Chains A and B, each alone.
Chain A
Amino acid sequence: MITLTDQKKITWFAACQISDVPANGGVCVKYGDEQIALFHFARRGEWYATQNECPHRKQMALSRGMIGTQEDEPKVACPFHKKTFSLATGQCLTGDECNIKTYPVKTEDGKVFIGIEGGL
């Protein structure tokens, strides 16, 4: 049983198949009323997930952004005004926009799982 008070507990939910996500790009995952951007950084063999909303103009768009690195820090650029955010920490790398939320990701049996703290 998972309880909400157990903050450290992570619930993994199956988001999609690995093949649903374009290599080196992102997709948007629906989790209840939340929108999560899921990225497959295939060049680095890494997966990342962040909130889909860009804090700059509150646009649901980060999953459609280009990903890349800045001095080895993986990042995503919002398609609207190219503000960039670290995929690893959620920190805004351009200016003072607020940081974005990140989620842990794991893959198993061809499926991608996103970890939600506290759980359902």
Chain B
Amino acid sequence: MKVVVIGNGMVGYKFCEKLKSMAPSVELIVFGEEIRPAYDRVHLSEFFAGKTADDLTLAGLDWYQDNNIRLHLGDPVQSIDRTAKTVHSHKGIIESYDYLVLATGSAAFVPPIPGVDKQGVFIYRTIEDLEMMNAHARKAKTGAVIGGGLLGLEAAKAMLDLGISNTQVIEFAPRLMPRQIDDAGSNILRNKLEMLGLKIHTSKNTSEISGGESITGMQFSDGTSIEVDMLVISAGIKPRDELAKLCGLETGSRGGIVVDEKLQTNDPSIFAIGECALYSGMIYGLVAPGYEMASVVAENLASLPRTGGVVPFGFKEITNIAEFSGPPPSGGRVAFTGYDMSTKLKLIGIDVASFGDPFLTGENIRTVVFEDTMKGIYKRINISADGKELLGGVLVGDAEQYNMLLQTCKNKLVLPPNPEDLVLGSRGGENLAGAGVQGLPDEAMICSCETVSKGAICNAVSELACETMDAIKKCTKAGTGCGGCVPMVKDLMLYTMKSQGKYIRNILCEHFNYSRQEMFDLVKLHELKTYNEVLDKLGKGDGCELCKPPVASILASLWGEMILKKGNDTAQDSNDRFLANIQKGGTYSVVPRIPGGEITPDKLIVIGQVAKQYNLYTKITGGQRIDLFGAHLNDLPDIWGQLIAAGFESGHAYGKSLRTVKSCVGSTWCRFGLHDSVSYAIRIEERYRGLRSPHKLKGGVSGCIRECAEAQSKDFGIIATEKGWNLHICGNGGSKPQHALLLAADLDDETCIKYIDRFLMFYIKTADTLTRTATWLNKMEGGIDYIRNVVVNDSLGMAQAWEAEMQTLVDCYKCEWKEAIENPEIKKRFNHFVNAPEVKDPTVKFETMREQKKVADWK
């Protein structure tokens, strides 16, 4: 049997994967118009957030080769001869088929507005589109998107990501996302988007795109106009049925190739799947129904010999399919009968979800609505009048309950006595609303992209010993599509493990059956000093990249010895091993410590001289100091030699250790300053420099409550008061910012430092690896009150011991870089080639930008 597929998009690829897994010997030929093998269009926007075309690829060229699939890329099919059963490609290839599968997807619908062909007007569908947008965005200052639906809002986010902060969304309908959410939900979404700086116009009809060769503005039918120099049109999709039309297949009046529940067109040898297929008057513009269609056709084709009666039952039937080219399928075992269009999206960081029928109203429907305009949260559920069944709903701003609600709706689970608990959470009572994952039936579809049921996931955990997300993904494929089900899969994994009596601990890795906290105590108890000793005494096997850095960090926190000695060098994460952060291209950064951000003119000059001599890129960092980028490994010892001679020391920018203690100028100069915040910041930075911890540490000292040092976003932040210092702890910037909480007020200099000593030792002893203080606090039972009890009231009786331990570490501090360059054994490791120490890595390439160098981009 010979099958030809036209279109190598998401659904076309899924079809190949399914068919080849069921019938490996089928002759399969694929034509794709794009120059790349199928990629993940759903996550296209991540291209702007740093993902590359490679990252998005679903399967590389070798996959097609290994599976014996002939793939013609960049070669669209131009016509189909249904009588001869052949297809004709642009490059002139003629290929015959027994069965033809159209998976041509859709194109962006571009309304016929005068001026749409101007430069600077884009659509948003392929990687090429994004590459073109990227190039244009460099010159653009103001942007607009036509279309306030799902794709339009994604495009608007892309514009923001491209740095065009002045972006407007133009929607023809009176509200955003008219197909997915109701009026009230749209309003909340609109407010949130406006808060992020997007300008939204609804009920607006574009009449003309103005400008010369390039776009300069837009005119609307209500007489208004705006100036823009970049526009993305995202006004809907248009199924690509042009080939089908050309060869006389039946198509819908508004586009789409008409198919039945076998996805068969009016020519029984031709199928259509994905976004080009029109089933029961409907185009399914989502990936999950497309995957379902691909499975149905693959399964029916793979079972052909059975239904055609050519091959007897047994294993052979599948291999023999190679010779089968009999009559078109009549029966077929499986069918496509429509698909649930529930979706959950993250738009510009805002959750939006709808499931079941979100718009239901009427006498037999009870609607529960929760709205918080301050926080921008809207939730609506539609329930049957008897309160037994969930029929649909909308979630905006907080869609944490989406998976549970969707499952409850799809599986017709019985609702709790107070159905409003489903969206409000149970208030006051012990029982959480709904029964959680354990309440779902085994057939409940958890991953709809890959059709994986609850039963299959639990089975993978209990029978196949998949006890990590990675293992489950590999084994069941759950969570590998849109990723929306991952939290639920994780819950199911933990629940199944728990129900097997497995105690779930954060053990380091396969070599150590202990958590970091347990390791810390054991290493101390046994007085172990090297990674190898720790592995021999407490672990098994030969270690790995997961356990080496935390063990090395524990050793450093406990004994304060030079981290590259005693064979511990190769247990360090690569950045620690070379005492510098590795950069794109393989060069390193140099960050000397500049305590409190204070620096003399002479030292500034030295930094400038060194940067010039070694051709380094210089930048003021977000941590009040100077980073020198692009140093060759070979040059690091000389660079540091010069810096150290001028009085600098390592800034530990590479370690999980103290970074900076940020200061404001304070009472020495500032008219509001209450105390000398700079001197205090320097004292604190010098006290904790070099200290190794589970994650990096940052501090700040502000001279008054105006808080110019942003101390409340730091792991420990100190703010001057009339009477002393207020100490705040466990603040965090990063991706989940969190304000620090007040630990104690009005402290004198010495007490404040005592409390920081105790707090840091408590954290270092008990936190999981790579856990910042904020996350540590969030997981701590009893929260800040408990920590206050331990640190201030000494409820564990550890205060004295911790202060003494900290003092020992403070006393044994030495600059790592100084030691490294003075020790010939360590120094000789800073070469790129072991057998050609004078040669630098010849593959490193730089470019020029704003009079400095920058590293050439990833390949």
Contacts and interface: CB of A to CB of B under 8 A. Distances in A.
A67 B573 CA distance: 10
B834 A29 contact: yes
Contacts of A41: 542
Interface residues of A, number: 40
Interface stretch (B81-89, B491-499, B578-586): B578-586
A75 B569 contact: no
A4 to B, nearest CB: 23
A74 B541 CA distance: 10
A30 B831 CA distance: 12
Contacts of B574: 61, 64-66, 79
A8 interface: no
Contact of A79 (B62, B541, B575, B858): B575
Contacts of B571: 24, 66
B582 A30 contact: no
Tier of interface size on chain B: 35 or more
Contact of A72 (B541, B834, B843): B541
A24 B839 contact: no
A38 B570 contact: no
Contacts of A108: none
Contact of A28 (B510, B543, B544, B832): B832
Interface in A55-70: 57-61, 64-70
A57 B51 CA distance: 12
Given A20-B834, A27-B834, A60-B841, A68 B567 contact: no
Interface in B832-856: 832-836, 839, 841, 843-844
A71 interface: yes
B544 A24 contact: no
Interface string B794-834: 00000000000000000000000000000000001100111
Nearest to A31: B835
B498 to A, nearest CB: 25
A69 B60 contact: no
Contacts of B841: 35, 60
B692 interface: no
A96 to B, nearest CB: 7
A105 interface: no
Given A16-B834, A22-B829, A28-B834, A77 B544 contact: yes
A2 interface: no
A71 to B, nearest CB: 7
Given A23-B567, A28-B834, A68-B548, A59 B586 contact: yes
A68 B547 CA distance: 9
A16 B569 CA distance: 20
Interface of A: 15-16, 20-25, 27-30, 35, 38, 41, 43-44, 57-61, 64-72, 74-75, 77, 79-80, 82, 84, 96, 98
Please list the 7 inter-chain residue pairs (A to B) with the smallest Cβ-Cβ separation, ordered nearest first.
Answer: A68-B544, A25-B570, A79-B574, A77-B545, A27-B834, A66-B545, A30-B833
Interface of B: 59-60, 62, 510-511, 532, 535, 541-545, 547-549, 567, 569-571, 573-575, 577-578, 582, 584-586, 828-829, 832-836, 839, 841, 843-844, 858-859
